[in-house]
A and B are shown apart, each in its own frame.
Chain A
Amino acid sequence: MEKPLTQHIHPDKAPLDIREYEKTGGYSALSKAFQMEPEEILEVVKDSGLKGRGGAGFSTGMKWGFIPMGEDAPKTKYLIANADEMEPGTFKDRLLLEGNPHQLIEGMILSAYAIQANTGYIFLRWAYKRSGYLIKRALKEAYEAGYLGENIMGSRFSFDLHQHTSVGRYMCGEETGLLNALEGKRAIPRAKPPFPQMSGLFGKPTIVNNVETLCCVPHIINHGAEWFKGLSLTDEGGTKLYGASGRVKKPGIWELALGTTLREILEDHAGGMQDGFFFRGALPGGASTDFLVEEHLDLKMDFQSVMDAGSRLGTGTVVVLDDRTCPVGMLHNLEHFFAQESCGWCTPCREGLPWVEKILLSLEEGTGREEDIELLEFHSRNLAPGNTFCALAPGAVEPLQSALKYFHADFERHITEKHCPWK
C-alpha cells in the first residue's frame, strides 16, 4: 500500500534535509506547477476529492475557489498552515511536522501558487518545540535553495513563508480565532460573513488549512487527481493518518487508505486491547467527536461514513475507552478541557460548559441527583450548532450526547449507588 505522506518518515531518525528531500523527488512538483495556470492546480485539487484534515472535512478545492483571483484581486493574500494541534487525543500533525517539514513547505508553496498568495504563516503550537526547531531549519534551507522568496525558480511567483509560535489556547486552532491570534489579539472567533477567503488576516483574503491537508498537495500535483482518489477505499480521496491511544497494545499512528475500518485500525494496527481490558467505545477523531461503540467496529473511517453513524471522523486519531475506565470520569475530563478552553465570548458556552463540568464532577463524587441527567441532556441541546458563536461548544457536547446515549446505565448507577462504581 502506498503511503505518500509518511514514506520518508522514520520517527527515530532526523527528517530529510533539503538535499535528501530533493533526491526523493521533493520540490519537483514546483517546476511542474509553475507551467500550469493557478486555476488548473485548483481544478486538480478539486478533482482529487481532497477533504480538509483539520476536522470539518470540507473540500479543499472548493474552499480555495472562494479566493478572489485575477487583476482586480487584492495584491496581498495569505495562506496559513494550521499547526496548532491541541485537540485532546490528537497527535498526527506532529508526526508530519517533525518527520518531514519540507513536505509541508512544498505543499504550502504549491497551495499558495494556486490561490496566488504572497505570504504564508505556519501557525505552530508552543509545546511543539522540536517541530519549531526543525521547521525553522527547513525554512532556512528552502530560502537558500530559492524555493521561497522572490521569483521562485525563475518564475513570476514570489512567496514568503514565516513561522509563528502561539502561546497556548485551543481557540487558536479555530480558523478565525487563529487569525486574531496572529494579529496579536485574543483568540476569539470572528463573525462570518465576511469569510476569511474574502477578509481574513489583516482584512486580506486568507486560506487556513490543516498541516495534513497541505502535505497531500505535492503528491496530488505529482501523480494526479485520479491516482489520489485511487489511494482511498471510498470516493473521498487519499490516505489518512489514523492513530490510536488508550489501553490498546500498541498505541501509535499509521498512514492508511482513507476508509479503513475502525476494527482494522484497532485490531491489526493497534494490536487489540491490552490483556485484561475490554473495548467499550471510542472517540473516532479526538475529544470533540461522538462516541462509537462495538456495533460500529466495521465502520469505514471516512468523513461520510462516520457522519452517517452519528459521529465525525474529526482528526482520525481514535481514543479508546476500556471497561476499567469510568465513562463518566472520562467525560468529566473532556468537559473540564472544553470549559477551560471556552473563550468566553458567548453565553451558552461560557456558562454551559462549566455547568456541565460541575454536574459530571458531582456524579463522580456521588452527590448527583436524578434530574442531573435531564440537565446534561438540556445542555447537549442548548450547545448544538447554531446556538453558539463558534464550533467549540457543539464539539464539546458531541462526546456528552453520545455518552448519555450509549452509557446511560453508567450515569444512572452513579446516582442510585451514590458513588462512582469504578472507584
Chain B
Amino acid sequence: MLTEEEIHEITEEINRFPVKKAACIEALKVIQKHRRWVSDESIEELAEMLEMSPGEIDDVATFYNLVFRKPVGRHVILICDSVSCYIMGYQQILQHLKVKLGIVYGETTRDDRFTLLPIPCLGTCDHAPAFMIDEDLHRDLTPENIDDILTKYK
C-alpha cells in the first residue's frame, strides 16, 4: 500500500502538470525514493491515481535505466562502463568489485548491502574510471582505493 506521504507527494506532482499521465515518471521517482524500488503492487496503485493501466505505467518504468523494478540493496553501485573509463581500465575496478562482493551485474549481496549495476558515462571522463554509490560520485578509482570507499557504506 502506498503510504499517505507517498500519496501526498504524488498528488503534488500530478497538480504540476496539465494532464495526469504526465506525472508518471515523477510518481515513479517518489515511490522509489521511499522504497528503493517499484513493485507490481505499487504500479497498480499508481495506475489508479494516474487513471492509466498498470501496463502503460510499466511501459514507462521499464524504459528507463534508473527505475528499479526489482529490489535493490541498501546501496547501489553504478559503475561507468563507457568509453573513457574503458580506455582507463574500468574493467579492473569491476573485476575487483565482483570478487570482493561476490556478485555480478544486477545482483545484490546476501547481506542486502550492495547492488551492482553498470551506467553510461558519468560525465567525469577526465577523472576516469568512476562510479557512483547512491548519490555520491567517486572518481580516479584504483583497485587499491575502492576498498576504503566501500567501508563508508554500511
Residue positions of A touching B, CB distance < 8 A: 85-91, 93-94, 125-130, 165-170, 181-187, 202, 243-247, 251-253, 283, 287, 317, 319-322, 325, 329-330, 333-334, 336-337, 340-341, 343
Contacts and interface: CB of A to CB of B under 8 A. Distances in A.
A184 B23 contact: yes
Contact of B22 (A94, A183, A252, A336): A183
B84 A245 contact: yes
22 contacts: A86-B120, A87-B121, A88-B83, A88-B120, A90-B123, A91-B121, A128-B123, A168-B65, A170-B120, A183-B22, A184-B22, A184-B23, A187-B63, A202-B18, A202-B19, A243-B125, A245-B87, A245-B128, A321-B87, A337-B82, A337-B120, A343-B63
Given A184-B60, A187-B63, A91 B17 contact: no
B20 to A, nearest CB: 9
B25 A181 contact: yes
Interface in B103-154: 119-128, 132, 135-137
Interface residues of B, number: 40
Interface string B28-72: 110000000000000000000000000000011001111100000
A202 B17 CA distance: 10
B104 to A, nearest CB: 16
Contact of B125 (A247, A251, A325, A330): A251
A334 B84 CA distance: 10
Nearest to A253: B126
Contacts, number: 132
Question: Could you say which of B29, B65, B82, B84 has the most chain A C-beta atoms within 10 Å of its C-beta?
Answer: B84
Chain B binding surface, main DSSP class: mixed
A360 to B, nearest CB: 13
Contacts of A167: 25, 28-29, 64-67
Given A243-B125, A336-B81, 20 more contacts: A88-B82, A89-B84, A90-B125, A91-B125, A94-B124, A127-B122, A168-B65, A169-B64, A182-B22, A184-B60, A187-B63, A187-B64, A244-B126, A247-B87, A253-B126, A319-B125, A329-B86, A330-B87, A334-B83, A343-B63
A337 B65 CA distance: 12
B39 to A, nearest CB: 17
B125 A245 contact: yes
Contacts of A184: 17, 21-26, 60
Contacts of A86: 120-121, 123
B56 to A, nearest CB: 9
Contact of B82 (A183, A287, A320): A287
Nearest to B22: A184
B83 A127 contact: no
A127 B82 CA distance: 14
Contacts of A181: 25
B83 A243 contact: no
A341 to B, nearest CB: 7
B88 interface: yes
